[in-house]
Structure 1
Amino acid sequence: MLSSNGLNGSGLILVSLMMVACAGSKGSDRQGESAESTVQRAIRNQVFVEGGSFRLGDVGHPNGSPYIVLTDHARPAVEVSVDSYSISKYETTWGEMHVYYEKLGRFPLYEGSLYDEKFIAEPSQDPLSPYFYLKPARTPNYHEAEGYCAWLGDQTGLPFALPTEAQWEFAARSRGSNVPFATNTGVADNDTYLQRPRQYIDPSIPPSGNMLSHSSLVMERRPVGSYPPNPIGLHDMSGNVAEWTQDWFQKDYYQYAPLNNPKGPLKPIDPDSPEKTVRDWAGHGDHVGGNATVFARSGVPVSAGGNGFRCVVNHPKPINR
């Protein structure tokens, strides 16, 4: 296990050895895989993001009009800086989450509940299944997403965590470029195909476009990495599933955000109904008023199920080179 103080010489050697042993790049390579291979893949799939300054929030069209017109949550944009970090190139998959649930004995917590069927489902080998092991996981609540990243940290000694809202947007916008979508082109070409009436995507029909955005009521998603990555190598930060961040949600937070490494409010605005910030509203299929752009943000109760996530490693140097 790596030192909890970060990477040192022996730590770098160990990471290198883990990389050599690792096979496959997307999600789980097979159903029922080991915890070791899941952890190895999590390390290798981290993409280094060199820190810098950018305008966090809705920077607007060239003519000055905002991308998001229904809410002010992403305005006014504010100049902030973030330190260097790494972030997963893929959303966490059903197969990977199953390993975490199994290793930490999480299944009994959800037996007989709605979550047992929808969000703790056994990963499937069937590409038609909404629970196909390479598709992005949808968690039963915020705590399981946070717990998965913490588990990776425990297994490696590396500072794994959920991304802050600023880290998420900086990476989605390829280090803060003024683009409305986290796609290869910066614009959206939506893959709207759904097999009807089952509403299952037929895997024999290749993906079209560069993202998948549709109704949040439909469980179906494409396997992670089905669409081209954004310019720094990250997949599905526009579309597939909406993603948790670690920040408590505050509608007007940008007006008070610190200039360096903003991390959201120190505590929930409403302790009786705590909400975390969820990004990538395209994962909920909300196109109205530009809300599917990369700037969209909203608060979701920590107890709510259905969102996905990816982890970051808060270390100033690449961990997998």
Structure 2
Amino acid sequence: MSGIDPLKIACLVVAQAFISGCGEDGLVSSALEQATDNQVFVKGGEFVLGDIGKPDGSPYVTLTDYSRPAVKIRIDSYSISRYETTWGEMAVYYEELNRHHLYEEEFTLKKYLLVSDDPLSPNYYRKPARVPNYGEAEGYCAWLAERTGLPFALPTEAQWEYAARSRGREVPYATDTGDVERDPYLRRPKEYVDPSIPPSGNALMHSSLKFERRPVGSYPPNPLGLYDMTGNVAEWTQDWFQEDYYRYAPYDNPRGPDSPSGEGLPSKTVRDWGGRGDWFGGGGTVFARGGRSVDFAGMGFRCVINHPEPIN
């Protein structure tokens, strides 16, 4: 895959023990280096955040109005990972912090902690991690920040959309063409899903009921060089979710509400609902947004580096 060093990747594969010859220090160093190397610089600027509407004036997202009104904002330059965080990368994080034991007794969560070097496994180390809660996504980016000294963090939803739209282009999908050609991979009944079938189309946007996904980078990137910002897995952002936030979003670097709103468990904003299989009514477009409680399982994520100059 483009930009991937096979020797580094070999050191990221963790099963029940470390790969011979890599060792713990080598695994961590390789993971930190890879996370930094995978960052793509995004020059900041002004753009219209939210559902800008189709050429005929109708909205892309019709099932909710959370993405309206569209609002003009400006964001600073930053870098963002070209790939969603993988099982292999999360495995290094869990090993480094000795966190596996926290979930050993939770049978339903074991699938979030296993990692495999078998390309046919749903936990293949190059497939996107689907973490058991928001804290694991936030914690991974914070761990990268602590270990590298770089300002890693989860993206704000404004950063996420700006990058998905290749610096604010008026496109509904974060694909190579701006349109979507859905891979039929997960349409078939579960027992007939075959991971050996090569990818087709330019995005995986089917079935929130199936745990299986494609390895990161399986489809062409958007013009900015970012993969899977439409489809594969939905992604956490750092913003607290508020349905009508765009009505109050500040012009400079909006970061969501200062605190969670509403009753029940606090919710964070999730983007790329196509990664959950929610592509009806504009749900698969880059404009769709929604909230999920911080203990919600099965989402993916990618990290940013909040630095005004290129890191690489």
Residue 40 (structure 2) aligns with = 47
Residue 126 (structure 1) aligns with = 118
TM-score (norm 2): 0.91
2:63 to 41, 62, 70: 70
Looking at structure 2, the residues matched to 74 and 271 of structure 1 have their Cα atoms a distance apart, in angstroms, of 21
Query: 1:115 deviation in Å?
Result: 4.6
* 1:248–1:265 CA contact under 8 A, matched in 2: yes
Structure 1 segment 294-313 matched on structure 2, within 5 A? 294-313=286-305
Looking at structure 2, the residues matched to 180 and 133 of structure 1 have their Cα atoms a distance apart, in angstroms, of 30
| 2:264 maps to 1:267 | no
Query: 1:31 deviation in Å?
Result: 1.3
1:105 to 95, 98, 103: 98
What whole-Å deviation, never above 9, does each CA across 1:168-206 have from its counterpart, x for those lacking one? 000000000010000000000000123654253432x32
**Cα RMSD after superposing both structures:** 1.7
Query: 1:25 deviation in Å?
Result: 9.6
| 2:201 maps to 1:209 | yes
* 2:128–2:213 CA contact under 8 A, matched in 1: yes
Looking at structure 1, the residues matched to 48 and 10 of structure 2 have their Cα atoms a distance apart, in angstroms, of 35
Q: How many residues align?
A: 297
| 2:239 maps to 1:247 | yes
| 2:5 maps to 1:23 | yes
For structure 1, which segment, 265-274 or 125-134, has the greater mean C-alpha deviation from structure 2 after superposition?
Answer: 265-274
Looking at structure 1, the residues matched to 309 and 13 of structure 2 have their Cα atoms a distance apart, in angstroms, of 32
Residue 176 (structure 1) aligns with = 168
Looking at structure 2, the residues matched to 220 and 169 of structure 1 have their Cα atoms a distance apart, in angstroms, of 25
TM-score (norm 1): 0.89
List 4+ stretches of structure 1 deviating above 6 A.
25-28
Residue 72 (structure 2) aligns with = 79
Looking at structure 2, the residues matched to 30 and 267 of structure 1 have their Cα atoms a distance apart, in angstroms, of 36
| 2:157 maps to 1:165 | yes
Closer/same/farther in 2, CA of residues 150 and 25 from structure 1, 3 Å limit: farther
Residue 222 (structure 2) aligns with = 230
1:144 to 136, 149, 158: 136
2:83 to 90, 108, 131: 90
Q: Percent identity?
A: 62
Looking at structure 1, the residues matched to 127 and 259 of structure 2 have their Cα atoms a distance apart, in angstroms, of 32
* 2:185–2:193 CA contact under 8 A, matched in 1: no
Looking at structure 1, the residues matched to 10 and 174 of structure 2 have their Cα atoms a distance apart, in angstroms, of 24
Give 5+ residue unaligned stretches, structure 2: 15-21
Give 5+ residue unaligned stretches, structure 1: 1-21
What whole-Å deviation, never above 9, does each CA across 1:280-301 have from its counterpart, x for those lacking one? 0000101211111110000000
